[in-house]
Amino acid sequence: MINVSNLSKTFTNHPVLKGIDFSVQQGEIVVIIGPSGTGKSTLLRCLNYLETPTTGTIQIGPIKVEAGHASSKQITQLRQQSSFVFQNYALFANKTALENVAEGLMTVWKEPKQQALATSMKILEQVGLGDKAHQYPAQLSGGQQQRVGIARAMAAKGEVILFDEPTSALDPEWVDEVLAVMKQLARSKQTMIVVTHEMQFAREVADKIIFMEGGHIVEQGPPEQLFNAPQSERTRAFLARAMKG
């Protein structure tokens, strides 16, 4: 369902992604791990075209975009195939929790307001925030904000939800409630690509783990293989460090 081939991204003479190939099946949970600064977030941002890739093709669902040959209409179509959960939540500051979730339904999918609000209320209840629907982001805790962020992404009608270190900016006390919502999503077979340093989560939830280093995919496979019998010495070294921390 998702196909990425030969994807690269260079920021003014500084190559960050160096030829990435991978694919994701419908309903698959993919977790991307690796040291900081190895291009994990950039890869995720390229999938949503928040960064413009230098070369390569990205296909999500029926939309295929080739770097350098994409019209703005194609880019918007590609973005509509996925939604994004940001490390810093990035909730719309001028909208309530409910309006944050409903915004895409109304503006992008042109749903009538009442219908969009009703759908959004159900989604907010799924992430346990029905009672916070009319609060503004500034009035919510970090964990609540991130759950609204996930609810907004769930409402977006994309094929896949992309999570960019969704718990890294959270105080430790809020991490579990966000991970719980993500696990619940995973059980419902929502296709997800997650960049995270939460190794326990990766091991428990992922169908496939991708280990990235230096702009390359070093190794990918099911969690048992990556964690118990890594093929690459670099994977082994990284995991040894990560599990210790």
Partner 1 sequence: MNFDFIYTLELFPILLKYLGVTMQMALIGFVIALVLAVAIAVVRVFAVPVLNQVAIVFISFFRGTPLLVQLFLLYYGLPQVFPWLVGLDAFSAAVIGLSLHFSAYMAESIRAAILGVDRSQMEASLSIGMTKLQAMQRIILPQAARVASPSLMNYFIDMIKSTSLAFTLGVAEIMSKAQMEASSSFKFFESFVAVAIVYWVVVVIFTQLQHRLEIHLNRAYVK
Report residue 72: phi and psi, to 5°. -65, -30
Whose structure tokens read 């496979």?
221
Closest approach, Cβ 60 to partner 1, in A, equals 12
Segment 147 to 166, residues that bind partner 1, using CB under 8 A: 152-153, 155-156, 158
What tokens does 165 get? 């270190």
Handedness of CA 34, 36, 40, 44 (dihedral sign): positive
Q: How far is the CB of 221 from partner 1 (least distance, A)?
A: 29
| Burial readout 5-29 (b: 16 or more C-beta within 10 A, e: otherwise) | eebbbeeeeeebbeebebebeeebb
Binding of residue 132 to partner 1 (CB under 8 A)? no
Least Å distance between CB 52 and partner 1? 12
Residue 99 in 3-state DSSP? helix
Interface size with partner 1, residues (CB under 8 A)? 32
Helix, strand, coil percentages in the chain from 3-state DSSP, rounded to 5: 40, 25, 35
Residue from 66, 103, 177, 207 in contact with partner 1 (CB under 8 A): 103
With CB under 8 A as the contact rule, which of the stretches 5-13, 42-50, 112-120, 236-244 interacts with partner 1? Answer: 42-50
Q: In angstroms, give the least distance from the CB of 123 to partner 1.
A: 13
83 vs 235, beta carbon nearer partner 1: 83
Q: Taking CB under 8 A as the criterion, which residues in 172-191 touch partner 1?
A: none
Among 104, 143, 215, 223, binds partner 1 (CB under 8 A): 104
Beta carbon of residue 44, minimum distance to partner 1 (angstroms, whole number): 11
25 makes contact with partner 1 (CB under 8 A): no
- In the DSSP assignment, the letter for residue 66 is E
DSSP codes of every residue in 122-190: HHHHHTT-GGGTT--GGGS-HHHHHHHHHHHHHHT--SEEEEESTTTTS-HHHHHHHHHHHHHHHHTT-
The owner of tokens 């009703």 is: 118
Do 156 and 186 form a contact (C-beta atoms < 8 A)? no
Q: Is 145 in the site for partner 1 (CB under 8 A)?
A: no
Instruction: Give the nearer residue to partner 1 in terms of CB position, either 92 or 227.
Output: 92
Nearest-angstrom CA–CA distance, 32 and 196:
7
Binding mask 54-93 for partner 1 (x = CB under 8 A): ------------------x---x--xx-xxx-x-x-xxxx
Name the site residues for partner 1 (rule: CB under 8 A). Answer: 48-50, 72, 76, 79-80, 82-84, 86, 88, 90-96, 103-104, 107-108, 136-139, 152-153, 155-156, 158
